[in-house]
């Protein structure tokens, strides 16, 4: 009887294609609180491993090699690890759950739901690093995207498939401007990556800026500042991968990442831990080189007809516009919106500094009369700012220069055009009609 059972059981296993494999395991050789070194196993970069036993287990990701040793970085908090603790691989490198099953959900950098709504079922898979595309597979940006902000719709028109940066120092209104755009954006899906921000801001952003109808078509990836640098980078990659999967379905996706600078900071932590030399402002080369590979994944896809319009916030440390991350992002992006602290201090919100801001695709996607009206407003604003001190001191005499007289007369209208309440939505059509109506006939 026992022989017959064994024959039947083993035969069933053989018919199912069962192939026994050895369990790969190594040992922890060193750990300094952030970087771990393991011996006795060979794994590809990006593999997730489990280290330790019992309640002291922690997850880590392979980030490199040093001779025969495998370098890993902790994905969680502090753990009571001991020397020679077992190291076992538990997941293949880099795949993200994607698809309609994620709509309305909030996940962390590892893809685990943190919204209390249970597990995510029926999701597809997509590589975290994306799928390499030929430059010829990318379509041109030809259609405008309505974001509900008058100054952006009228003066810095964003196109579907464009990559834009919002650049400013701390506390100037980047998150509020993002919330205005999320509520009004005409997109099929909104993917939001909250990377490296304060935990309080994550809850506040969800309850005040992604509420109502916008929440049902949104996917949020939240990785606060107290999480591992590896998880912060994985969060940025995960948000981009989710957007790519929706674009492959032919959808128009709005990808918002707050903030790109925190992703670079995470890359700096990892690079310095690996022993890379620090260059400009302490950033190792790998941290800056990571930005193009992330930003270039957004855009329009010719084959599917979908698009990813990406908006990245870039924190200018100390309001320095020449910060390495700001400078690198500005050279890669298709446009940038600069928020000025001086405008915010005067009570002009959103504090968009129109002069240094630019949309590199605006002339391709809007009519000529729209472009001319926007140039007229810019000219009046630039003339006023150049002569502002003279006007305020009373050193300028009216009638001395027609251009300055016109700029002074139009200045209040310019500020009123830029100002907008945080709860107000101004459509693209209304913004253009107002701009052309006020500034369209000026020379």
Question: Which residues contact residue 19 at a Cβ distance below 8 angstroms, ignoring those fewer than 6 apart?
Answer: none
- Looking from the CA of 161 toward its CB, the CA atoms found within 13 Å total 21
The topology (CATH level 3) of 95-365 is Rossmann fold (3.40.50)
pLDDT at 15: 55
**pLDDT tens column, 36-87:** 999 998 888 888 899 988 777 888 889 888 889 999 988 876 677 888 999 9
The torsion angles phi and psi of 78, rounded to 5 degrees, stand at -65, 145
Give the residue-averaged pLDDT of 338-346: 90
Residue 98 has pLDDT above 90, yes or no: yes
* pLDDT one-digit tens code per residue, 205-242: 888 888 777 888 999 999 998 888 989 999 999 999 99
Residue with tokens 């009571």: 80
The C-alpha atoms of residue 129 and residue 75 are separated, in whole angstroms, by 18
Whether residue 442 has pLDDT greater than 80 = no
CA 138, CA 85: separation in Å to the nearest integer?
A: 48
Q: What pLDDT shows up at residue 110?
A: 86
Residues pairing with 193 in the sheet: 221, 257
Spatial CA neighbour of 232 closest among 203, 258, 205:
258
Neighbours of 440 (CB within 10 A): 17
- Residue 251 is predicted with a pLDDT of 95
In this model, does residue 1 exceed pLDDT 60?
A: no
Question: How many C-alpha atoms does 324 have within 13 Å on its Cβ side?
Answer: 18
% of the chain with per-residue pLDDT over 90: 51
CA–CA dist 387, 405 (Å, integer)? 11
Averaged pLDDT score across all residues of the chain: 88
pLDDT, position 243 = 97
Identity of the highest mean pLDDT range in 151-165, 197-211, 389-403: 151-165
Question: Residue 320: is its pLDDT beyond 80?
Answer: no
Q: Is the dihedral of CA 418, 419, 420, 426 positive or negative?
A: negative
Total-model pTM: 0.88
Kindly report the CATH class assigned to 24-89: mainly beta
Question: CB neighbours of 157 closer than 8 A, spacing ≥ 6?
Answer: 144, 359, 362, 365, 366, 370, 428
For the chain, the domains span 24-89, 95-365, 369-439
Q: Is the pLDDT of residue 360 over 90?
A: yes
Span 268-289, mean pLDDT? 86
Tell me 188's DSSP state. S
Predicted local distance difference test score (pLDDT) of residue 101: 94
Choosing among 3.40.50.300, 3.30.420.60, 1.10.357.10, 1.20.1270.330, the CATH entry for 369-439 is 1.20.1270.330
Stretch among 165-169, 205-209, 418-422 having the lowest mean pLDDT: 205-209
With 0-12 / 13-18 / 19 or more C-beta atoms within 10 angstroms meaning exposed / middle / buried, residue 20 is: exposed
């Amino acid at each position: 009887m026992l022989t017959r059972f064994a024959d039947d059981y083993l035969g069933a296993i053989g018919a199912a294609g069962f192939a026994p494999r050895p369990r790969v395991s190594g040992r922890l050789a060193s750990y300094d609180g952030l970087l771990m070194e393991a011996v006795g196993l060979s794994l590809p970069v990006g593999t997730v491993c489990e280290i330790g036993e019992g309640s002291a287990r922690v997850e880590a990701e392979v980030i490199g090699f040093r001779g025969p040793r495998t370098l890993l970085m902790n994905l969680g908090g502090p753990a009571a690890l001991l020397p020679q603790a077992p190291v076992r691989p538990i997941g293949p490198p880099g795949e993200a759950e994607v698809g309609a099953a994620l709509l309305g959900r909030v996940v962390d950098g590892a893809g685990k739901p943190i919204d209390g709504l249970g597990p995510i079922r029926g999701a597809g898979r997509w590589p975290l690093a994306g799928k390499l595309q030929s430059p010829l597979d990318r379509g041109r940006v030809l259609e405008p995207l309505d974001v509900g902000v008058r100054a952006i719709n009228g003066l810095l028109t964003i196109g579907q498939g464009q990559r834009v940066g919002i650049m400013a120092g701390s506390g100037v209104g980047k998150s509020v401007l993002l919330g205005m755009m999320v509520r009004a954006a005409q997109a099929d899906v909104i993917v939001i990556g909250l990377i490296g921000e304060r935990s309080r801001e994550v809850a506040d952003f969800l309850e005040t800026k992604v509420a109502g109808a916008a929440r049902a078509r949104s996917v949020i990836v939240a990785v606060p500042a107290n999480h591992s640098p590896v998880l912060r980078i994985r969060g940025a990659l995960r948000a981009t991968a989710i957007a790519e999967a929706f674009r492959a379905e032919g959808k128009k996706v709005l990808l918002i990442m707050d903030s790109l600078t925190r992703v670079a900071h995470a890359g700096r932590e990892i690079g310095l831990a690996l022993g890379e030399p620090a260059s400009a402002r302490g950033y190792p080369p790998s941290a800056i080189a990571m930005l193009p590979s992330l930003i270039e994944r957004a855009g329009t896809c010719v084959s599917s007809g979908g698009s990813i319009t990406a908006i990245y916030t870039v924190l200018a440390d100390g309001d320095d516009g020449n910060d390495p991350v700001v400078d690198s992002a500005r050279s890669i992006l298709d446009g940038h919106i600069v928020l000025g602290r001086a405008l915010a201090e005067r009570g002009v919100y959103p504090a968009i500094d129109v002069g240094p801001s630019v949309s590199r695709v605006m002339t391709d996607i809007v009519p000529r009369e729209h472009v001319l009206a926007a140039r007229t407003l810019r000219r009046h604003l630039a003339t006023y700012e150049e002569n502002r001190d003279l006007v305020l001191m009373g050193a300028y005499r009216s009638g001395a220069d027609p251009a300055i007289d016109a700029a002074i007369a139009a200045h209040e209208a310019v500020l009123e055009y830029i100002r907008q309440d945080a709860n107000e939505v101004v459509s693209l059509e209304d913004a253009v009609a107002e701009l052309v109506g006020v500034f369209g006939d000026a020379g």
